[in-house]
Amino acid sequence: MKTVLVLGSGGQLGMSISKVLCEKGYKNKWLLFSRKEVDITDPEKLKMIFEQAKPEVVVNCGAYTNVEKAEDERSEAFRVNVQGTEIVARLCQQYGSHFIHISTDYVFDGRKNVPYEETDVPNPINWYGYTKWAGERVAINNAENLTILRVSGLYSPWRKNFVKTMINLAIKRREMRVVYDQIHCPVSALFVANELVRTIENDIVPRGIYHLTNDGITSWYDFARKIIELSGLRANIVPIRTHEFPTKAKRPAYSVLSNRKWKETTGAKTIHWEEDLYNVLRMPEMWENV
Ligand SMILES: NC(=O)c1ccc[n+]([C@@H]2O[C@H](COP(=O)([O-])OP(=O)(O)OC[C@H]3O[C@@H](n4cnc5c(N)ncnc54)[C@H](OP(=O)(O)O)[C@@H]3O)[C@@H](O)[C@H]2O)c1
């Protein structure tokens, strides 16, 4: 087994990695640290961990992820997503660790209407997206042995996410107004975690920028309908346009990522987003805190 350090492990992706490791009987084999245990903006504490663990691979799941709040908390989002990433990248360089940094479809402006390739130039349209893109740049500038993995529309049984919000609204029998003019491809954090564990343990994580999502595309409206249908719930879901639901942060109208390069390079068997959703909705954990 490799010495793998996971930072920011208390979030959706970190919890999903923990779940996948348990399922595979690898519990306690990887070193998982939540923000409480180590803050990625704390260089001294992080250095101590690197010094003790001498990790071969470091996965950074830690991030400021609240897209809307980031517009108001600009310096905090920058501190975590850019300065924190730089600290981790420098330590990876110093200790010869392979740095796997998680990024987002929100680095793109959404003006395309075919899936974004890794060669497309980012042009973020909100502060969260800007900090994630700047985080990619500092990772590239400071760590030679690097993989940037962009994912989109993450959901899981843990933390706050779109799937759980829709289920909760349906249970409370509230009417839902959901935008139909923002197109993306959701992926479960479990699917991403499985891919991370598979490729890290088989030593086949490619270096460079990669996009990892499911197959197919959807609007948030159609995604919401499928969540409710597969959950066996009933709800009145009203399709609306983005301008009818004003937010501080602009969202890309189209942020589908092409997973072609990841599939070709790692041999991944991606599935349709509906199948991924079906699998996650069958997990007992999904229904524990609704
Ligand atoms: N969620 C999405 O839809 C989405 C879409 C595309 C890309 N991504 C990217 O995917 C990655 C994982 O996202 P996620 O959905 O798992 O996010 P999440 O559930 O919000 O988890 C993020 C984790 O980072 C931790 N964190 C925040 N500041 C930190 C710091 N200074 N030091 C250490 N840890 C810190 C948080 O700690 P607390 O537990 O204390 O809050 C939380 O546990 C992120 O890079 C995100 O940008 C997410």
Where are the chain's structural domains? 4-287
Q: Name the residue with the closest Cα to ligand 1, atom 14.
A: 12
Query: What predicted TM-score, i.e. pTM, was given to this entire model?
Result: 0.98
CB < 8 Å & 24+ apart, contacts of 18-27: 19/190, 19/193, 19/285, 20/190, 20/193, 20/194, 20/197, 21/197, 24/197, 26/1, 26/197, 26/201
Q: Terminal CA-to-CA distance of the chain, rounded, Å?
A: 36
Identify the band that residue 19 occupies on the pLDDT scale cut at 50, 70 and 90. Answer: very high
Q: Provide the token pair at 206.
A: 């490619």
Sign of torsion, CA 233 235 239 243? negative
Q: Which atom of ligand 1 is nearest to the CA of 65?
A: 20
Q: Considering only CA atoms, which residue is closest to atom 18 of ligand 1?
A: 11
**Ligand 1, closest atom to CA 156?**
15
Report which protein residue has its CA nearest ligand 1's atom 39.
10
Q: How many angstroms does the Cα of residue 236 sit away from the middle of ligand 1?
A: 31
Nearest protein Cα to ligand 1, atom 32: 39
Residue 27, pLDDT score = 78
**In whole angstroms, what separates CA 48 from the centre of its chain?**
27
**pLDDT tens across 113-144, in order?**
999 999 999 999 999 999 999 999 999 999 99
Confidence of residue 243 (pLDDT cuts 50, 70, 90): very high
The residue-averaged pLDDT of 221-238 equals 97
pLDDT band for position 289 (50/70/90)? confident
pLDDT value at 190 more than 90: yes
Which sequence positions are flagged as catalytic? Answer: 128
DSSP string, 51-91: HHH--SEEEE------TTGGGT-HHHHHIIIIIIHHHHHHH
**Which of 7, 49, 61, 67 for mutating ligand 1's site (highest number of atoms within 8 Å of CB)?**
61
11 CA to centre of ligand 1 in angstroms: 5
Give residue 290's pLDDT band: very low, low, confident or very high (50, 70, 90): confident
**The predicted structure's pLDDT at residue 26:** 87
Check whether domain 4-287 has CATH 1.10.1510.10, yes or no:
no
The H-assigned helical ranges of the chain are 12-23, 43-53, 74-78, 85-95, 127-142, 162-171, 189-201, 220-231, 260-266, 273-281
**Distance of CA 281 from the midpoint of ligand 1 (Å):** 21
104 lines ligand 1 (CB under 6 A): yes
Any ligand 1 atom below 6 A from CB of 218: no
Contacts of 226 (CB under 8 A, 6+ apart): 218, 274, 277
What's the pLDDT tens digit per position in 21-30?
999 998 788 9
Question: What's the pLDDT score for residue 2?
Answer: 87
Over residues 256-265, mean pLDDT: 98
159 lines ligand 1 (CB under 6 A): yes
